[in-house]
Amino acid sequence: MASALFDLTGKVAVVTGASKGLGRAMALGFADAGADVVVSSRRVDACEEVAEQIRAKGRRALAVACHVADWGQCDALIAAAVAEFGKIDILVNNAGIAPVPPSLAGVTEELFDKTFGVNVKGPLRLMAMAAEHMPAGGSIINISTKASQRPSPFTVVYAGSKAALNAITQATAQEFGPRGIRVNAIVCGPFITDSFSKAIPTPEAAEHVAKMITVGHIGQPEEIVGTALLLASDASSYMTGALINLDGGGS
């Protein structure tokens, strides 16, 4: 039965950057599919609101503050998830930042370190620690960007960090494969979220972006849920190390 393939009943998901945007959409989507969810970002009050929405669906939820560039906080997030639920079946490394430097010479050490800290260093640690508590059938999903494959001067640091995340996705897929844990990435095109609106602030600019997308619109956060469910569930049991484009057909 098709729905049984995507069923997450009895599974525990940890989603970073889950207070809003794509992370929130995936956390709620996993709960709709039957999972209990650890909702994490830096702002625990915002995570608690999402956790409440998940509880209203009849699932269990735990809100945990975690700045993913800090390995101590990453370890504490995994420990909190395991203390509450006893295991982790699904990890989504969704928290990410995309600051735009004024120029290559204008890239500060702070901007570089922060971007790689959030987009690369944190996900690597969370993968390593979460896998210690994942039974066979576990799934790790890393949220990447088309910029990792089509970089530009505008995205130089962000693109470089997400290209590193793509490489780490494929390396860890090999590492964890024999243990029955799969690792894949969703390579996103533009989605309407706060970080998108920060980068593309006017309706005219957004319309210009939409016109370049094959399906003719910018993604809504809910449009990541189907792909995330595919990767999180047994429906993708033969898929690992994949970098899946989710970009409305691209531009």
Ligand X SMILES: NC(=O)c1ccc[n+]([C@@H]2O[C@H](COP(=O)([O-])OP(=O)(O)OC[C@H]3O[C@@H](n4cnc5c(N)ncnc54)[C@H](OP(=O)(O)O)[C@@H]3O)[C@@H](O)[C@H]2O)c1
Q: Which residue in 67, 112, 171, 175 binds ligand X (CB under 6 A)?
A: 67
Nearest to 144, CA basis, from 108, 210, 95? 95
Q: What x-and-dash track marks residues 161-200 binding ligand X by CB under 6 A?
A: ---------------------------x-xx-xxxx----
Nearest to 11, CA basis, from 134, 185, 124? 134
Token pair belonging to 79: 């420990």
Near ligand X by CB under 6 A, which window of 40-48, 84-92, 123-131, 170-178? 40-48
Token pair belonging to 10: 């009895």
Paired strand residues for 37 = 13, 61
Number of residues in contact with ligand X under rule CB under 6 A: 31
Decide whether 220 or 237 has the Cβ nearer to ligand X.
220
Strand order in the sheet with 61-65: 61-65, 36-41, 12-16, 90-93, 139-145, 182-188, 243-246
**Does position 97 bind ligand X by CB under 6 A?**
yes
Decide whether 68 or 232 has the Cβ nearer to ligand X.
68
Q: Are 221 and 25 in contact (CB under 8 A)?
A: yes
**Identified catalytic residue from 30, 85, 158, 176:** 158
Paired strand residues for 16 = 40
Q: How far is CA 164 from the centre of its chain?
A: 15
Q: Are 176 and 140 in contact (CB under 8 A)?
A: yes
**Shortest Å, Cβ 60 to ligand X:** 20
Q: Which of residues 200-239 bind ligand X (CB under 6 A)?
A: none
Which H or E run contains 41?
strand 36-41
**Shortest Å, Cβ 134 to ligand X:** 21
Decide whether 46 or 111 has the Cβ nearer to ligand X.
46
Decide whether 86 or 203 has the Cβ nearer to ligand X.
203
The answer to whether residue 238 is catalytic is no
Q: Which positions are annotated as active-site residues? A: 158
User: What residue ranges bind ligand X (CB under 6 A)?
Assistant: 16-23, 41-43, 46, 66-69, 94-98, 118, 143, 145, 188, 190-191, 193-196
